[in-house]
Amino acid sequence: MRPTVVIALAVAIVINGAARSADADPSLIALSPSAGPGPSAATHVFDTSVAAGPLEWEQLTGDWWGARTSLAEVGITFAPFVIVDWSKNVRGGLDTEGSATRELFSFNATIDLTKLLGLPSGKFYVDLHHQAGQNGSDEVGDYQFVGNWDADGLTQISELWFEYEFFDGLVRTKIGKVDANWEFACTELGWEFVHGSASYPATNLVMPTYPDPAASMNVFVYPTDWLSLGFGLYDGALAEGVRTGARGPGTFFGDPADWYLIGEVGFQWAVGEAGLPGRAAVGGWHHTGTFDRFAGGQAKGTSGFHLVVDQMLWLAQPSTDEEPAGLDNPGIGVFVQYDCADPAVMSADHHINAGVTWRGPLPGRQRDLAGVAVSWIHFTDEPAAGLGDSYELAAEVMYKAYVIPSVAVQPYVQYIVNPGGVGLRDAVNLGVRVTVNF
């Protein structure tokens, strides 16, 4: 589907459906797969009710004459979506004459083996991506990417994995082609920003994440309700220039094999009588490959560290024991992220990202999301890296409006200081993102 078709469709729906969207049922609120990396994209159960009209469906294509509900009842769910981004750099950067339009189509399916076969656990997930169009950073020249779904064009099976739980959920395993940022070093409240560093550790250039997930083995342990431990072993061929997003597990078993290892400890809590949810995760990674040092010579392996915190500050409706609130409930939340890497081999050695989100900022608009985020990276001091500036700073202000439950229009403004760290003038990037859940 071409970008002009999707945008025209969205505009028509805005005209015809915005008034009805304002009265949407708050109980239907949930993060969509288009929110970005995160486990909810693979586990979300969609409302397939056809009792209401098309302007109130969770998916634009509805219930497929009952087939969608029938399939969901036996454990097979589909969550396809299209994202179309248009942006224009109006000041500074590399180019202010042109604009960038790009699109991403995701066709994904989840098979729940508990429902399908009656097994105690088991889940398959597959996600086919098609991405095309001009990268928004081609106009800005920034380091961190102005769009989190931007790429150089691809058609691939980005994810294909099997998940199984043991001992009544005490242990969760995930094996296959996985996006590591779905499981590690991700700020949940930063998922729906457009900017590339809003929920991604910007110093970690070798992380197997979009557009290059990789073959992996992951294990997670949940000893208590508030504590989790996770470890992943991934194909590390991306550091050698191999685009793992378009490959199977061949290089995972290569000889010699370069591996990317990552571990994380997670914590969850609820604050005060309102039960304000929060979470934190701290972890580190190590890549076993060989890396060129800026100052000359090579390094055998390199490592990094990350810390993320999400916290709700206010809920439109207090949490209860029967319905504990999550980070996607209407209310105001904040997030902070820090990560670092070796300045001898990585262009950026420190990254701090922070933001504020408000879901349901206007009366009757409980699905909408407003947000402000700032992402700062410090460039390595190594002269051979060729960076004239010591840092890059990117700020984004956005508003995501659900014109109907299946369609969102998200205008945004980004201001980038020292784009790329190479002496470019500060840039102002304006854009709009349209998301359609099918």
**pTM for the complete prediction?**
0.87
* Residue 424 predicted with pLDDT over 80: yes
Q: Which of 97, 202, 193, 188 is nearest to 149 (CA)?
A: 193
Q: Which of 371, 36, 30, 43 is nearest to 187 (CA)?
A: 36
Radius of gyration of the chain (CA): 21
Provide the 8-state DSSP code for 44.
P
Q: Give the pLDDT confidence of 281-328 residue by residue, as tens digits.
A: 999 999 999 999 999 999 999 999 999 999 999 999 888 877 888 999
pLDDT at residue number 39: 39
Give the pairing of strands 407-417 and 76-78.
unpaired
CA 421 – CA 438 distance, rounded (Å): 40
pLDDT at residue number 324: 86
Q: Among all chains, which residue has been given the structure tokens 């262009």?
A: 347
Q: Give the pLDDT confidence of 358-383 residue by residue, as tens digits.
A: 999 999 999 999 999 999 999 999 99
* Residue 56 predicted with pLDDT over 70: yes
Q: Give the pLDDT confidence of 169-209 residue by residue, as tens digits.
A: 999 999 999 999 999 999 999 999 999 999 999 999 999 99
CA 348 – CA 376 distance, rounded (Å): 10
pLDDT at residue number 12: 39
* Residue 25 predicted with pLDDT over 70: no
Q: Give the pLDDT confidence of 201-252 residue by residue, as tens digits.
A: 999 999 999 999 999 999 999 999 999 999 999 999 999 889 999 999 988 8
Q: Which of 133, 18, 12 is nearest to 403 (CA)?
A: 18
**Which run of H or E residues covers position 131?**
strand 123-133
Q: Which two tokens stand for residue 436?
A: 């359609």
**Which run of H or E residues covers position 114?**
helix 113-117
CA 93 – CA 424 distance, rounded (Å): 6
Q: 287 - beta bridge partners?
A: 260, 302
Single-letter residue type at 297 = G
What average pLDDT does range 64-72 have in this prediction?
92
pLDDT over 70, % of the chain? 88
CA distances (Å), origin 67, targets 48, 62, 140, 436: 10, 10, 45, 20
pLDDT at residue number 51: 53
